[in-house]
Chains A and B, each alone.
Chain A
Amino acid sequence: MAKITFIQHNGTEQTVDGQAGMTVMETAVKNMVPGIDADCGGACACATCHVYVEPGWLEKTGPRNPMEEDMLDFAFDVRDESRLSCQIKVSDVLDGLRVRVPEKQF
């Protein structure tokens, strides 16, 4: 189990339990975290699960995969710390992970 904190644009935080093997996107949707639309259900085909990984966590979440890098073209305001949350798998290493939800997915 890993605690994951989602930070909304207005600063509200929500910490939920992530299960190993699930994705960060699935964890958000299961816990009804606002702002993670995930139109395509995790197929890496919509870019509406965009998050900003908080400083210090980028190394642990690992780099973007090539499909994700392509799909990020369809996200808005992409930064160095941008990831598609459906492409981050929860594991014990990510216990305490903090990600920021963009103001709007689209």
Chain B
Amino acid sequence: MSEEVISTDAVIVGAGPCGLFAIFELGLLDIKCHVVDILDRPGGQCAELYPEKPIYDIPALPIVTGSELTHRLLDQAKPFKPEYHFNQMVTELRKLDDGKFELKTDGGIVFHAKVVVIAAGGGSFQPKKPPIPGIDAYEGQSVFYSVKKMEALRGRDILIVGGGDSALDWTLNLQPIANSLTLLHRRDDFRAAPDSVKKMRELVAAGKMQLKLGQVTGLTGDNGVLASAQVKSTDGNFNIAANTMLPFFGLTMKLGPVAEWGLNLHENLVPVDTAKFETSTQGIFAIGDINTYPGKLKLILSGFHEAALMAQEAFHHIHPGERLLFQYTTSSSSLQKKLGVA
């Protein structure tokens, strides 16, 4: 793991619509941002759950899809040169003695930031764990929901479960280095990219891997080491011998590490005040779906408003005692300069 330490004004946890708009609001106040998200791309729920669905209640945009909104927000934030870190989950957040905050990601990045903005939405998107009895015992040793290091799986007898892009991509990636590889899916139809499906079928035809139809019902093994998976199918039950299983059932939102950062929580949400959107720790803010306060509406437009007010207080936290001039982007030449339009 790389031990990079990045010093910055603000770290935004979550690149959903609210996190993205926070870059803009902080940027207007000269606060430089790094943005971290566990997904491989920006947009949060808009990108992951409904990229093609129209949204009708964004002020002044009568209709906009989740993915278009994301692109517009990225464009709007661009002048402030935010730095994005995708495929990274912020796992730790703590206050340092000098008043700054230290954040660590599961990919080994360390940030030192003057303020932290938690825009974690409904929580981090995490792989779904199939409720197979006893699966926990194998996790980390034989059962993996994502692949961090391919080499670690070299020479193994691998069972991949699923029919989407992740399942097919990993089938194709791991087949050359596996001792044996079986793809198990509930039907002989795949939602993954047709090209990957074609390649997979060629490998099966060449005898280089197996394709089985069915669903896992149980696992057997010893001490966390998998030996075989029990499978139920329309034409009877059978076992697949494997010492490694990779189930790919899509993503779900789990609050995740946010719960461990010592912040007050209320029903898995972070309570904030409605003037500053600050959490129980000064200098740590929470905006968007993750926060709660009397009257809270989980709407994108609420998160935008929250970002604007949060930025004001973030400025005061970074520059104590300094006066902040209220300005319009329409008429302030200094704001326009920052936006690169003057």
Tell me which of B129, B164, B189 contacts A106 (CB under 8 A): B129
> How many chain-B residues does the 8 Å CB contact rule pick out?
22
Kindly identify, within residues 47 to 67 of chain A, every residue whose CB is under 8 Å from any CB belonging to chain B: 47-48
Q: Which of B31-39, B88-96, B147-155, B249-257 contacts A (4 or more CB under 8 A)?
A: B249-257
Q: Which of A13-21, A23-31, A38-46 contacts B (4 or more CB under 8 A)?
A: A38-46
Main secondary structure of the interface of A (DSSP, over half): loop
Instruction: Determine how close the nearest CB of chain B comes to the CB of A85; give it in whole angstroms.
Output: 17
Tell me which of A45, A72, A104, A106 contacts B49 (CB under 8 A): A45
Chain A residues positioned under 8 Å from B250 (CB to CB): 46-47, 74
Residue contact B215 to A77, C-beta cutoff 8 Å: yes
Residue contact B191 to A48, C-beta cutoff 8 Å: no
Residue contact B128 to A106, C-beta cutoff 8 Å: yes
Residue contact B49 to A43, C-beta cutoff 8 Å: yes
Interface: A78 (CB within 8 A):
yes
Instruction: Determine how close the nearest CB of chain A comes to the CB of B120; give it in whole angstroms.
Output: 15
Instruction: Determine how close the nearest CB of chain B comes to the CB of A82; give it in whole angstroms.
Output: 10
Residue contact A74 to B249, C-beta cutoff 8 Å: yes
CA gap between A104 and B250 in the complex, in Å: 15
Instruction: Determine how close the nearest CB of chain B comes to the CB of A42; give it in whole angstroms.
Output: 10
**Considering only CB atoms, which chain B residue lies closest to A104 in the complex?**
B131
Interface: B276 (CB within 8 A):
no
Interface: B221 (CB within 8 A):
no
**Considering only CB atoms, which chain A residue lies closest to B131 in the complex?**
A104
CA gap between A43 and B164 in the complex, in Å: 18
Chain A residues positioned under 8 Å from B163 (CB to CB): 73
Interface: B303 (CB within 8 A):
no
Interface string of B126-144 (1 = CB under 8 A from A): 0011110000000000000
Residue contact A106 to B186, C-beta cutoff 8 Å: no
Chain B residues positioned under 8 Å from A46 (CB to CB): 49, 250, 252
Residue contact B252 to A43, C-beta cutoff 8 Å: no
CA gap between A104 and B50 in the complex, in Å: 23
Interface centre among A39, A43, A75 (most CB of B within 10 A): A39
Interface: B53 (CB within 8 A):
yes
CA gap between A73 and B253 in the complex, in Å: 18
User: Beyond A73-B162, A76-B130, A78-B215, is A106–B185 a contact (Cβ under 8 Å)?
Assistant: no
CA gap between A65 and B252 in the complex, in Å: 22
Interface string of B205-237 (1 = CB under 8 A from A): 000000000010100000000000000000000
CA gap between A47 and B162 in the complex, in Å: 14
Chain B residues positioned under 8 Å from A48 (CB to CB): 252
Chain A residues positioned under 8 Å from B128 (CB to CB): 74, 106
User: Beyond A43-B49, A43-B50, is A74–B164 a contact (Cβ under 8 Å)?
Assistant: yes
Residue contact B249 to A106, C-beta cutoff 8 Å: yes
Chain B residues positioned under 8 Å from A104 (CB to CB): 131
Chain B residues positioned under 8 Å from A73 (CB to CB): 162-164, 185-187, 191, 249
Residue contact B249 to A43, C-beta cutoff 8 Å: no
CA gap between A96 and B50 in the complex, in Å: 32
Tell me which of B122, B131, B187, B189 contacts A76 (CB under 8 A): B131
Instruction: Determine how close the nearest CB of chain B comes to the CB of A29; give it in whole angstroms.
Output: 14
Interface: A70 (CB within 8 A):
yes
Instruction: Determine how close the nearest CB of chain A comes to the CB of B63; give it in whole angstroms.
Output: 16
Chain A residues positioned under 8 Å from B253 (CB to CB): 39
Residue contact A70 to B252, C-beta cutoff 8 Å: no
Query: What 10 A-B pairs have minimum CB-CB distances, sorted nearest first?
Result: A74-B250, A104-B131, A106-B128, A70-B191, A40-B49, A73-B163, A43-B50, A45-B49, A76-B130, A74-B249
A-B contact pairs, 26 of them (CB 8 A): A37-B252, A39-B49, A39-B122, A39-B252, A41-B49, A43-B49, A43-B53, A46-B250, A46-B252, A47-B250, A69-B189, A70-B191, A73-B185, A73-B186, A73-B191, A74-B164, A75-B249, A76-B131, A76-B215, A76-B249, A78-B215, A104-B131, A106-B129, A106-B131, A106-B249, A106-B252
Q: Given A40-B49, A45-B49, A106-B129, 7 other A-B contacts at CB below 8 A?
A: A39-B253, A46-B49, A70-B191, A73-B164, A74-B128, A74-B164, A76-B131
